[in-house]
Copies of this chain bind each other. A is one copy, B any other.
């Protein structure tokens, strides 16, 4: 999402901090992914941006949903989304949440441990389950395999165990890591899935769902493979490794790649100071208010309104709370004349920003504002008034 005239217009109109979302970009991301992997069923990862207008938009487009808790399920049911469109993809589910999901018609669950299978068989008998395979180290910003998924031999054991407990093993999921830069990670994963499917067939268990997980990257600073390039690797790998069976059904669980580049976090400078040799800029957004991922070293592109071309120098950039953890970047280049009330944009901030927000220090988390709520007419009026 670019900083257009309309973005600048809205940034003057709305009280900061907020995340400005463009639902047209969400739509385009959805369609691009659909096109890149023929026949894929998209389960949007609600956790990445759970705003109801984002969810409604994706629902209108035909998306299904990956949910993480009872809270998310309740929210989606409240928006009129069918339980058949939901996959309970968290491998760490409260037992009462499984029961709630089942009683409300959800019959699709992720597992990576014996105890999880037992909990599901007790509370959601005969449900469909898919097994989360851990990947080795991949070139991604957040490898997810330590906490989630398990090794290939364990997955095979789990399939047999689930089958014995009366569940329906339908497939395998994996996750190459959030923000994955290596398109061949998907190929490696699919080779392993083919091995598992073949093993299961020998046991008389026909599985045909491959859940490709999320992990497709968006561009912050580093160059990324496109969704089309990743799709090509996936399609070729499916052709090559799964020729012993009918074409598998493909699921995908995008979060960041659906909404990340559809949002800009807009903040304002509330203080500039110099202490010892360090120049500090403090914003009205921070680690506890939208920018939590920066403490895990996510580098957003940062733009200061009207000073894009000014001479730069190094600043420490921090948030508004009385907390030493609330430092966004120890070192970042900003215009040397940045000052009080300047507007500061964080690009590609549509995912894992507002949903990570707290009310710490009595400061509310950023609101989400939608481009479509502002008409061209309003902008024209402003232009007219200015003349």
Residues of A within 8 A of B (CB): 45-47, 50, 67-75, 89-95, 112-116, 119, 134, 142-144, 146-151, 154, 178, 270-276, 280, 282, 284, 288, 295-296, 318, 320-327, 340, 355-364
Contact = CB atoms under 8 A, between A and B. Distances in A.
Contacts of A362: 46-47, 50, 67-75
A360 B361 CA distance: 18
B92 A271 contact: yes
A87 to B, nearest CB: 12
Contacts of A322: 45, 47, 68, 89-92, 148
Given A72-B362, A115-B340, A270 B94 contact: yes
A276 to B, nearest CB: 6
Given A134-B275, A275-B112, A363 B71 contact: yes
Nearest to A363: B69
Given A90-B320, A147-B280, 11 more contacts: A47-B361, A71-B362, A72-B361, A95-B340, A113-B275, A113-B280, A142-B325, A147-B323, A148-B324, A178-B324, A356-B360
B151 A276 contact: yes
Given A47-B360, A151-B276, A116 B271 contact: yes
A67 to B, nearest CB: 7
Among A90, A272, A325, A362, max chain B CB count under 10 A is at A362
Nearest to A16: B94
B47 A95 contact: no
A357 to B, nearest CB: 6
Nearest to A71: B362
Nearest to A282: B92
A98 to B, nearest CB: 10
A359 B147 contact: no
A272 B72 CA distance: 23
B154 A275 contact: yes
Nearest to A73: B362
Contacts of A47: 321-323, 360-362
